[in-house]
């Protein structure tokens, strides 16, 4: 009989929330204390009794907050207030806070810390957590932090760091409990009672053989109601969702959502258990991917600190602004090509933004739906063709309905049936164009190996603006002049 476990036997503080986050209260206190921020950061006494009382209040609030709430506060503060609050936060939780903040804010916090502060911050972190921070830490700090760990932890950190971002191995957790299949459930329960606490999110125990090859899992809920004399091999589940460290982490997150998983084993090519992934990491992956898609659709290259220096923000935004400027110039030249038509029929100038605007809105609806479907793995080549047909059908119906509405309005406003018919045709054709491009842009981006959301909103607006102007003014020139 053999039972193996990779789980710390020392208790650590549970990460449950302590008090609700009142971010406006923290903002107000930080703003009041800003005049004495330099004194606070230099650990000098604040002589003003009112300000000193506010300082005591702010320290008390910060020390009661969960590390994730402290991270939320830091992300929402300008640099000077952020530096002061970071100085006042609980030093023993600095590592947890660094794990929770955005990459952009984390970089600024790490730059403000000296080597001793960084070493103290990462001292209590698990191997997978240290590996997550390692890329942003100075090499000397990582080296010295590893020297304080035992050989097993050093190997775990290096293993996690060896996998590229976006792979399961980069986010896997090494804290787990494993047992053998040839023991009774009562023996397992007695063994678990030896621990002061189990690893976070332990909903199952992993069953392995003498070579650590995964045999199955024993859900805690089954263990608690099983006959104490029953053998683990008769109670465990053998149909297990498992992952390789080279698997795509977004696909793993989708599997967690699909199968309602809390934890899942990570195995190597020989099916040897090497770690696990947990629901908290997968929630982070889903959130980060959603945020990245929103940023990419707006043409932002990366996540941005709200209070980043002006030049840093300019560098993050200029590429797609330049693209947008070029496309806007193309749209202006399209209009310029029909100056004669606009001079003769002034109503065209008032109506053409309507054609372009509704096309852009329809195209953004289509492209948002397609990008989301790609993110959750719902689209393949065949489905893309079917979706294109469906979106063209939707655009045709919408174009005819709303084109007719605007055609009637234009007829009544300008007493011209010709302008009304041109509006119907132009809006229908531009919506068809928007639907087609709304499907093709993300599909083409994915085939090119790029994020389907990257700049999609900018591109679809460019196409529907230029296309809408060309279609509307072209039809008006052909049939009204």
Answering whether pTM is above 0.85, one says: no
Encoded tokens for 174: 């090494």
Q: How confident is the model at residue 382 (pLDDT cuts 50, 70, 90)?
A: low
Encoded tokens for 262: 């809390």
Minimal CA–CA distance to 175: which of 49, 7, 37?
A: 7
What distances in angstroms separate CA 306 from CA 79, 232, 364, 418, one per listed residue?
A: 10, 53, 25, 51
Mean pLDDT score of the chain, rounded to an integer? 88
Q: What is the pLDDT of residues 246-300, one digit of tens each?
A: 999 999 999 999 999 999 999 999 999 999 999 999 998 988 887 777 777 666 6
Residue 5 belongs to what H/E stretch? strand 4-6
Domain containing 426: what range? 310-480
**CATH number, domain with residue 160:** 1.25.60.10
Q: Are residues 143 and 87 in the same domain?
A: yes
**How many domains, in total, are found in the chain?**
3
Q: How confident is the model at residue 443 (pLDDT cuts 50, 70, 90)?
A: confident
Please report, rounded to a whole number, the percentage of residues in the chain having pLDDT higher than 70.
94
Q: Which residues contact 260 (CB under 8 A, 6 or more apart)?
A: none
Minimal CA–CA distance to 289: which of 258, 343, 252, 338?
A: 252
In-domain check, residue 226: yes
If you average pLDDT over residues 41-49, what whole number do you get?
89
Query: What is the pLDDT, as a whole number, of residue 18?
Result: 59
Q: Are 117 and 109 in contact (CB under 8 A)?
A: no
Query: What is the pLDDT, as a whole number, of residue 442?
Result: 87
Please report, rounded to a whole number, the percentage of residues in the chain having pLDDT higher than 90.
59
Query: What is the pLDDT, as a whole number, of residue 12?
Result: 42
User: Which of 134, 165, 196 is the last residue in one of the domains?
Assistant: 165
Q: Which residues contact 140 (CB under 8 A, 6 or more apart)?
A: 115
Q: What is the pLDDT of residues 161-177, one digit of tens each?
A: 999 988 999 999 999 99
Q: What is the pLDDT of residues 458-478, one digit of tens each?
A: 888 889 999 999 999 999 999
In-domain check, residue 147: yes
Taking residue 49's Cβ as centre, other Cβ atoms within 10 Å add up to: 8
If you average pLDDT over residues 379-396, what whole number do you get?
82
In degrees and rounded to multiples of 5, residue 160 shows phi and psi of -65, -40
Encoded tokens for 111: 């730059």
In-domain check, residue 299: no
Q: Is the pLDDT of residue 10 over 80?
A: no
Q: Are residues 120 and 186 in the same domain?
A: no
In-domain check, residue 18: no
Minimal CA–CA distance to 82: which of 64, 66, 102?
A: 102
User: DSSP states of 382-415 as a string?
Assistant: HHHHHHHHHHHHHHHHHHHHHHHHHHHHHHHHH-
Query: What is the pLDDT, as a whole number, of residue 139?
Result: 92
Q: Are residues 432 and 381 in the same domain?
A: yes
Q: Is the pLDDT of residue 13 over 50?
A: no
Q: Which of 4-13, 60-69, 281-290 has the lowest mean pLDDT?
A: 4-13
Q: What is the pLDDT of residues 108-135, one digit of tens each?
A: 999 999 999 999 999 989 898 999 999 8
In-domain check, residue 457: yes
């Amino acid at each position: 009989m053999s039972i193996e476990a990779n789980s710390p036997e020392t208790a650590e503080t549970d990460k449950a929330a302590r008090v609700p986050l009142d971010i406006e209260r923290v903002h107000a206190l930080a703003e009041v204390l800003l005049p004495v921020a330099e004194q606070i950061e230099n650990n000098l006494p604040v002589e003003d009794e009112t300000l000193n009382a506010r300082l005591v209040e702010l320290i008390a609030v910060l020390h009661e907050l969960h590390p994730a709430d402290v991270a939320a506060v830091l992300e929402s503060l300008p640099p000077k207030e952020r530096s002061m609050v970071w100085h006042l936060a609980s030093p023993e939780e600095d590592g947890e806070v660094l794990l929770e903040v955005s990459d952009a804010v984390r970089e600024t916090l790490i730059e403000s810390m000296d080597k001793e502060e960084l070493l103290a911050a990462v001292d209590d972190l698990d191997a997978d957590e240290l590996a997550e921070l390692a890329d942003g830490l100075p090499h000397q700090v990582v080296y010295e932090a590893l020297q304080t760990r035992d050989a097993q932890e050093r190997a775990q950190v290096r293993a996690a760091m060896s996998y590229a971002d976006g792979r399961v191995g980069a986010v896997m957790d090494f804290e787990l409990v494993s047992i053998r299949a040839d023991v009774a459930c009562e023996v397992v329960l007695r063994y678990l009672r030896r621990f002061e606490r189990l690893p976070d999110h332990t909903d199952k125990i992993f069953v392995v053989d003498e070579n650590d090859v995964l045999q199955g899992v024993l859900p805690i809920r089954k263990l608690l109601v099983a006959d104490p004399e029953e053998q683990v091999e008769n109670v465990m589940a053998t149909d297990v969702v498992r992952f390789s460290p080279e698997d795509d982490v977004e696909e793993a997150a989708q599997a967690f959502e699909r199968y309602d998983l809390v934890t899942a084993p990570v195995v190597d090519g020989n099916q040897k258990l090497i770690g696990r992934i947990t629901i908290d990491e997968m929630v982070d992956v889903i959130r980060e991917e959603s945020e990245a898609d929103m940023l990419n659709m707006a043409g932002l290259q990366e996540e941005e600190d709200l209070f980043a220096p002006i030049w840093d923000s300019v560098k993050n935004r200029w590429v797609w602004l330049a693209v947008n400027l070029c496309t806007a110039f193309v749209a202006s030249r399209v209009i310029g090509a029909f100056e004669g038509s606009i001079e003769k029929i002034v109503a065209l100038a008032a109506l053409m933004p309507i054609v372009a605007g509704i096309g852009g809105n329809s195209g953004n609806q289509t492209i948002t739906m397609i990008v989301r479907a790609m993110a959750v793995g719902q689209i393949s080549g065949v489905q893309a063709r079917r979706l294109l047909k469906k979106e063209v059908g939707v655009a045709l119906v919408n174009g005819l309905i709303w084109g007719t509405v605007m055609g009637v309005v234009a007829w009544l406003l300008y007493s011209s049936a010709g302008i009304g018919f041109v509006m119907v045709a132009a809006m229908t054709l531009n919506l068809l164009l928007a639907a087609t491009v709304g499907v093709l842009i993300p599909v083409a981006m994915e085939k090119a190996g790029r994020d389907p959301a990257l700049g999609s909103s900018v591109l679809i607006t460019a196409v529907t603006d230029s296309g809408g102007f060309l279609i509307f003014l072209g039809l008006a020139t052909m049939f009204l002049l």
